[in-house]
């Protein structure tokens, strides 16, 4: 298994062009939000590259819930934001969500031609590592970043997942040290400004979820064992 770490939209496109199993890592918050929504029995999450794209997709899913954020705040008129706390508290059983986020959903669309696309964060890293090891593909770990710039939490999320995939490796930081590094991210500052600090705790809750969001056509479903 070859493991490559990529960054941003160009990295997502490069991973897909290589035909790698592609992992989109948006720790704060899309990866955590999607995994939480599927754990809350959502049936499907359709990522959209923009609000306009979401409006187009809605023609195929007229009963779907609209979920989205810009700068951590719910888009006006949408049913849901993109908060894992909100997803954990919502009744999503059997629901389809259309998702437009600042970073993560755009990365998925850019990588959608890859043979396998999954979402990973600290919340489901062991489940994703197990899924990838069982497949045995070459893997690209794509750090979503924030507003086109790299962020520490996605780099740590990617290197942590690479560490799990390499059974012989040791990680240089403890989980508490990882959390502390992530508090230095502008993504954390944005959560504080929006009053969403509880989301940070969910995003940095290691292996709290045993779910792998797997892209199936245009949307994520829960990968089956």
CATH number of the domain where residue 163 is located: 3.90.1560.10
CA angle 125, 126, 127 (to 5 degrees): 90
Which residue range forms the structural domain that includes residue 109?
A: 3-222
- Residue 218 has a pLDDT of 95
DSSP class of residue 3 equals E
Percent of the chain with pLDDT over 90: 93
Distance (Å, whole) CA 182 – CA 179: 5
pLDDT digits (tens, 9 = 90+) for 38-88: 999 999 999 999 999 999 999 999 999 999 998 888 999 999 999 999 999
Q: How many domains are contained in the chain?
A: 1
- DSSP notation for 113-165: TSSEEEEE-GGGHHHHHHHHHHH---EEEEE--BTTB--HHHHHHHHHHHHHH
Maximum CA extent, the chain: 49
Per-residue pLDDT of the chain (225 residues; tens, 9 = 90+): 999 999 999 999 999 999 999 999 999 999 999 999 999 999 999 999 999 999 999 999 999 999 999 888 899 999 999 999 999 999 999 999 999 998 899 999 999 999 999 999 999 999 999 999 999 999 999 999 998 899 999 999 999 999 999 876 789 999 999 999 999 999 999 999 999 999 999 999 999 999 999 999 999 999 986
* Cα distances (angstroms) measured from residue 12 to each of 39, 110, 145: 25, 6, 12
d(CA 5, CA 163): 12
């Amino acid at each position: 298994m070859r493991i490559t770490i990529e960054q941003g939209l160009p990295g997502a496109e490069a991973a897909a062009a290589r035909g790698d199993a592609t992992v989109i890592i948006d720790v704060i918050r899309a990866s955590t939000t999607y995994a939480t929504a599927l754990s809350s029995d959502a049936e499907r999450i359709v990522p959209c590259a923009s609000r306009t794209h979401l409006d187009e997709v809605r023609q195929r899913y007229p009963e779907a819930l609209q979920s989205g954020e810009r700068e951590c705040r719910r888009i006006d008129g949408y049913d849901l934001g993109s908060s894992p706390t909100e997803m954990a508290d919502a009744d999503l059983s059997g629901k389809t969500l259309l998702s437009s986020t600042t970073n993560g959903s755009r990365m998925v669309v850019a990588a959608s031609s890859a043979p396998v696309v999954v979402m990973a964060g600290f919340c489901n890293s062991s489940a994703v590592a197990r899924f990838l090891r069982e497949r045995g593909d070459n893997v690209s770990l794509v750090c979503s970043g924030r507003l086109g710039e790299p962020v520490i939490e996605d780099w740590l999320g990617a290197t942590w997942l690479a560490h799990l995939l390499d059974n012989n490796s040791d990680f240089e930081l403890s989980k508490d040290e990882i959390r502390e590094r992530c508090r230095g991210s502008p993504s954390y500052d944005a959560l504080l400004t929006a009053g969403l600090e509880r989301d940070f705790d969910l995003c940095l809750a290691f292996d709290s979820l045993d779910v792998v969001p797997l892209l199936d056509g245009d949307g994520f479903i829960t990968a089956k064992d």
